[in-house]
Amino acid sequence: MSSKARAKTIRESEVYRVQLPALHEAQMEVLRGEKKFNVLCCGRRWGKSKFAEDRLIHPALEGFPVAWFAPTNKILNEAWESIKKVVLPITIRKQEDKKIIDLITGGKIEMWSTEDPDAGRSRRYKRVVVDEAAHVRHLQYAWNNVINPTLIDFDGDAWFPSSPNGANYYKKLFDFGQDPLKPEWASWQMPSHRNPFLKQRVIENMRTSMGEAAFSQEVLAQFVSAEGAVFRKINEAVRAQRQTDPLPDHQYAFGIDWGRRKDATVIAIIDLTLRALVAMERWTNLEYPIQKERVRLLWHKWQPISVVAEENSIGGPIIEDLRAASVPVKAFQTNNASKAEIIDDLVIAFEREDFALIDDPVLISELGMFEAFRLPSGLIRYEAPAGQHDDTVIALAIAYQALGKAKKLGRIVIGGLVRPSAWGNMAGR
């Protein structure tokens, strides 16, 4: 009798039970928000491995092929031992050397080490788990070139459970889940204490035995900035209320960073009266005529006294067209020196805590990862880490210049309001 026929006979004659662990409330919170691609950034002992096993096994119980990827053979072996025990009652064949399990449901579980970044190529899966994804070497290549294509046949989904590991490609995947422009992605940051079975005393002992950076990363599940990180006190700055419409008697400024395909176009809208970023428009994959029309409509709505846009590359022609449409845009030429100047001004504002931000996940992430590098000449170069973006940071820094100019001209705070009369036409110069 073939294994397929035997499986059919077993299914028809007997009932088998698979015991999966009950999920705690934080795990249920994640489950309720799952999407096609799910990035789960966890502190130690939160329960990500058991949760990931649960997510992997369910489609296998329904008869689908699934796969588990791990960064090393050691980590893979630990998961293999755990999963094979769970599905033992419904296993009809197990290949220890290849790490493949066939189930009586017709489902199949395959497990791969990404020490070979091409592992799993040409397979077909309903669901994949990329365990400890932040620690997978060549994650970008493995995901885009090998793993993601395995989901095409079954329109499958993916989970990326991991502890964080600095500003690498896993951080970029996490940011996808925070980005409203990527609706198929979801991400969660789950510190260790969200596991209700961990005692607070244990967590506090970890705090005292680990360095602050290690505790933030391994327990609080935070993406710890590199040594060259530029902005501090970011969380302290997140205290502004988002505005959907301009407030009476308030003055506004726009900063624009252009993009189209890989980069986003971002408009940072600052309330000069409140010294705060109060709105941010962001979009990708829009033709330039549509982008120009959006800028024109936003200008009419907010009536900013300053509109400054990056001129480099594509910016020049767009600015000229906007001026022709009576939108008074001032061009900003980005080079190493001018970029350093506007970033330095913004850094000082954060240090002094006299500027506020709305809680925009993409902006907060890009600010946290923004870095400084010293050039051989001794000058400082500011930029996002390789593979990441800084569109929101540049737009914010450009917009902030209007606030700085107002202050230098002595136009700030008369009864809490900005009085811009002496520089009202600045944007057109």
Q: What is the pLDDT of residue 206?
A: 76
Do residue 350 and residue 242 come from a single domain? yes
In this structure, the answer to whether residues 214 and 238 fall within a common structural domain is no
Give the end of a domain, one of 193, 218, 243. 218
In a shared domain, residues 399 and 315: yes
Whole-angstrom Cα distance, residue 272 to residue 403?
6
Q: How is residue 388 written in tokens?
A: 């990441």
pLDDT for res 417: 35
Do 113 and 255 lie in one domain? The reply is no
Other residues' Cβ atoms within 10 Å of the Cβ of residue 263: 14
CB within 8 A of 143, min separation 6: which ones?
130, 169, 173
- In tens digits, the chain (429 residues) has pLDDT values of 444 444 444 444 466 677 888 899 999 999 999 999 999 999 988 999 999 999 999 999 999 999 999 999 999 999 999 999 999 999 999 999 999 999 999 999 999 999 999 999 999 999 999 999 999 989 999 999 999 999 999 999 999 999 988 778 899 899 999 998 899 999 999 999 999 998 888 888 777 766 666 788 888 888 876 556 788 888 889 999 999 999 999 999 999 999 866 778 999 999 999 999 999 999 988 888 999 999 999 999 999 999 999 988 788 899 999 999 999 999 999 888 888 889 989 989 988 888 999 999 889 888 888 887 766 666 677 888 777 788 999 999 999 998 866 554 444 333 333 333 323 333 333
The residue range of the domain holding 109 is 3-218
How far is the C-alpha of 70 from the C-alpha of 121, rounded, in Å? 15
51 plus 163 within the same structural domain: yes
Q: Number of folded domains in the chain?
A: 2
DSSP secondary structure letter of residue 101: E
Buried b (16+ CB within 10 A) or exposed e, 316-348: eebbebbeeeebbbbebebeeeebeebbeebbe
Answer yes or no: is 224 within a domain. no
pLDDT at 212: 67
- For residue 140, give the H/E element and its range: helix 139-141
Last residue of a domain, which of 218, 247, 269? 218
Strand 91-95 relative to strand 100-103, pairing: antiparallel
Helix (H, G, I), strand (E, B) or coil at 263: coil
Q: What is the DSSP string of 156-194?
A: -EEEEEE---SSSHHHHHHHHHH-TT-TTEEEEEE-GGG
Q: Is residue 44 part of a domain?
A: yes
Do residue 193 and residue 238 come from a single domain? no
Q: Are residues 120 and 180 in the same domain?
A: yes
Q: In terms of domains, do 297 and 170 share one?
A: no
Measured distance CA(183)–CA(390) in Å, rounded: 20
Q: Do β-strands 252-257 and 265-271 pair in parallel, antiparallel, or remain unpaired?
A: antiparallel
Q: Where do we find the tokens 């008697």?
A: 249
Q: Are residues 110 and 139 in the same domain?
A: yes
Structural contact between residues 174 and 107, judged by C-beta atoms closer than 8 angstroms: no
Give the Cα separation of 190 and 188 in Å (integer).
6
What CATH number did the domain enclosing 401 receive?
Answer: 3.30.420.240
Q: Is the Cα dihedral 317, 319, 323, 325 positive or negative?
A: positive
Which CATH number belongs to the domain containing residue 136 in this structure? 3.40.50.300
Q: Of the candidates 218, 242, 276, which is a domain's last residue? A: 218
